[in-house]
Amino acid sequence: MDRSTRDVVVVGNGIIGLSTAFELSQRAPDLRIAVIGPAAREGAASVAAGAMLNCFGEATVSTLGDPASVAKFGVRLAGGETMSAPAVVVAAGSRTRRFIEQLPLGAVPLMLQGTGLAVLTQRHDDAAGFDHVVRTPNQPGACGLQLVPLGDRGHEYIGGTNLPSFLHSTGPSLGVSFNLLRRACEDFDHRLGYSHIHRWLVGHRPVTLDGFPLLGAVPSCRGLVFASGTYRDGFHSSPVIAPHIADVVLDRATAHPHFVPFAPERPPIERTSVAAATDQFVEHQNDDAVLLGIRLPYCIGRVHSCAGTMSWAGHAHGGIGTHERHVTGRHQGRDDLARSRRRGASAAARRVVRRP
């Protein structure tokens, strides 16, 4: 068989790429499909996931707040050869960003990575562990804590941390990792402290700037299809995503209305205001500080602790603005708003200092 041409090339061998290739092969057995990706899948989100069917457990206050809530071209392989196909599906997880950056600036929302840590453990002396999945509700700034039993002899999966960032991170920080293990022992079962760690799993969740996935064709580049940005729910949603992507590839692009908002070429979907997002950030940071054990004396209340976090939020938003400006040349208005929030934060801080 000629190795340089295929009918479909899928770039990425995580759950989304593999599900899409599987769906295509079931529907059109004669199709010549290539899945490209490194065998070790280092940093792939799919390898680190607990693979729970937990979309609803991940819902946040903003989840339902918005209606959106061939040219024959070649893929260059690591060895230097190219592989051509009329359809190329990019399912490269958080690395999809590198493909987005090849397109005209701002055509497709940028991709961040939500770095996550999980551990595979075994109970001491093969003692029995949990016999069903347990998870906490969502926790500030992250998803809930999860424990998934893995068969007998006390094997368990404990996850997961989540730190979204524009910057490429090779792994979670010591502090974040420490917190995961500490909370597992304190919130689930203190005897987990005796468990042995068999493997540390690190994966980068693909998350777009607006938080919604990129699913479908890129009209300005015929033959290019994106299937990424599933963030915390890629396993849960892959059985729905793969048939849609197969429809697009096989030209049955009667897009189901559910998928219309996720067309890759779109301006970022705005589902909240900067002010509301800042307030939410401040609330999360304060709740996180309490969860981590902070204790404030009676004379320091919520306003005091909010002021510092608010200026941090303004700084964080300014950072996003820089990335957005780089890509779209827009969002001056948001920067103005961020500045006024920062001014509000300093005014609040001044009020606090003046209080008797």
Ligand X SMILES: Cc1cc2nc3c(=O)[nH]c(=O)nc-3n(C[C@H](O)[C@H](O)[C@H](O)COP(=O)(O)OP(=O)(O)OC[C@H]3O[C@@H](n4cnc5c(N)ncnc54)[C@H](O)[C@@H]3O)c2cc1C
Binding residues for ligand X, rule: CB under 6 A, are: 11-17, 36-38, 41, 44-46, 48-52, 54, 91-93, 95, 116, 118, 159-160, 203, 205-206, 228, 230-236
Pick the closer one to ligand X by CB: 118 or 184: 118
Pick the closer one to ligand X by CB: 92 or 310: 92
What does the chain come to in residues? Answer: 356
Whether 106 and 328 have beta carbons less than 8 Å apart is answered as: yes
Q: Tell me how crowded residue 88 is: count the other CB atoms within 10 A of its CB.
A: 27
SS3 45: helix
Task: List beta partners, residue 8.
Answer: 33, 87
Pick the closer one to ligand X by CB: 206 or 268: 206
Smallest separation (angstroms) from ligand X to the CB of 101: 12
Smallest separation (angstroms) from ligand X to the CB of 79: 12
Pick the closer one to ligand X by CB: 231 or 281: 231
The Cα diameter of the chain in Å comes to 82
Smallest separation (angstroms) from ligand X to the CB of 242: 11
SS3 339: helix
Smallest separation (angstroms) from ligand X to the CB of 228: 5
Smallest separation (angstroms) from ligand X to the CB of 271: 19
SS3 147: strand
Whether 104 and 219 have beta carbons less than 8 Å apart is answered as: no
Smallest separation (angstroms) from ligand X to the CB of 111: 10
Q: In sequence order, which ranges of the chain are alpha helices (DSSP H)?
A: 15-27, 45-48, 96-100, 174-183, 234-249, 274-291, 302-328, 332-354
Pick the closer one to ligand X by CB: 5 or 328: 5
Contacts of 102 (CB under 8 A, 6+ apart): none
Smallest separation (angstroms) from ligand X to the CB of 231: 6
Pick the closer one to ligand X by CB: 154 or 213: 213
Pick the closer one to ligand X by CB: 145 or 345: 145
Contacts of 191 (CB under 8 A, 6+ apart): 123, 124, 127
Task: List beta partners, residue 148.
Answer: 157
> Which structure tokens are listed for 5?
């041409």
